[in-house]
Amino acid sequence: MIESVSLHLVRGLPVINKGDSLADLIQSRFELLDGDLICIASTVVSKSEGRVRELSSYTPCERALAIAKNLGKDPRFVQAVLEESSEILLDRPFLLVVTRFGHVCVNAGIDQSNVPPGKILLLPENPSLSAEMIRRELNRDCPVIITDTCGRPFRFGVTGVAIGWSGLSPIRDWREATDIHGRKLEITLEAVADEIAGMANLLMGEAGDSTPAVVVRGLPRFDGGGSMFMPEEQDVIRAILSSK
C-alpha cells in the first residue's frame, strides 16, 4: 500500500535545443535519489531530438488537400499528420489517428505552441526508446515517463498521459486480488503510468511555465513489462470506427 507520494518541479531548465542532454540538465538542477521517478514533457524530448519541422517543408497530397478543406486546416499541417500516422481513424470533425508508435490521439500529437511561427513540433519518434536513453544517462536508478496531454471521450478537458516509459510497468494488474468481501477481481488493470503522468501535469502546467520535468518520490517500482496501447484486435472502439 502506498502511504504518501511527493512531487517536485525541476526548476531552472533552459530552453531546450537539439542535442541537449535532458538527463544532465535535470540531475544538475535536482538531487535525485535511487527510485525517484522522472516525468518529462514530450515537447522538450522532441526538441532535444530535433523534431522541430518547417511547415513549408511539407507538400500536401490529394488526401491531405481534401481533409484540410473539410476541416478548415492548413493542408501542410494535415500532410504532416498523415506522415506521422500509421492509421487514420477519423478525418472529421477532427483528425484522430494512430501514431507510428501506437498512440491514438488527435493530429498525431503535433504541436504548434512553444515553437516559432511557421514551425511545428512532432512527437518523439519512439517515446519509450527516448525514455530508456534518458534513463541510461542518469547517475541514479530512476524510471522515466514521457508525458503528453490528451482529451478523453465524454469529458471536457485534457489530462496528462504516458506515451513512453522505461524502468517500470505502465500497468498494475489487480486480477486475482480480492475485494473486501473476498471476491477475486477479474478484469481490473490500473493504468499507473497515466495516473503518474496526470499528477505530474498538474505541476507542469499547459502554457509557458517552462517547467517540463517533475520528480515523483515515494512510489513503488511497479516492476515488469507491459504496454499501455491496446492491440487492435482487442480495441472495440477501433472496430466500431472501422465498420462505418
Would you kindly state where each structural domain of the chain is located, as residue ranges? Answer: 1-51+124-228, 52-123
According to the model, what pLDDT value does residue 240 have? Answer: 74
What are the angstrom distances between the C-alpha of 135 and each of 73, 82, 143, 222, 229?
Answer: 38, 31, 7, 16, 21
> Residue 16, annotated ligand binder?
yes
- Record: fold of 52-123: CofE-like fold (3.90.1660)
Supply the CATH classification number for the domain 1-51+124-228. Answer: 3.30.1330.100
pLDDT of residue 132: 97
Asked if residue 13 belongs to a known ligand binding site, the reply is: yes
164 near 130, Cβ under 8 Å? Answer: yes
Is there a binding annotation on residue 151? no
State which residues of the chain have pLDDT below 50: none
> Does the annotation list 159 as a binding residue?
no
Place of cell 514533457: 41
Phi then psi dihedrals of residue 154, to 5 deg:
70, 5
Report whether 205 belongs to an annotated binding site: yes
Residue 34 known to bind ligand: no
Do the annotations mark residue 38 as ligand-binding?
no
Residues 6+ apart with CB under 8 A from 62: none
Rounded to whole angstroms, how far apart are CA atoms 136 and 10? 19
The strand pair at 172-173 and 85-90 is best described as: unpaired
> For position 143, what pLDDT does the model report?
95
178 annotated as a binding-site residue = no
Is 211 among the annotated ligand-binding positions? yes
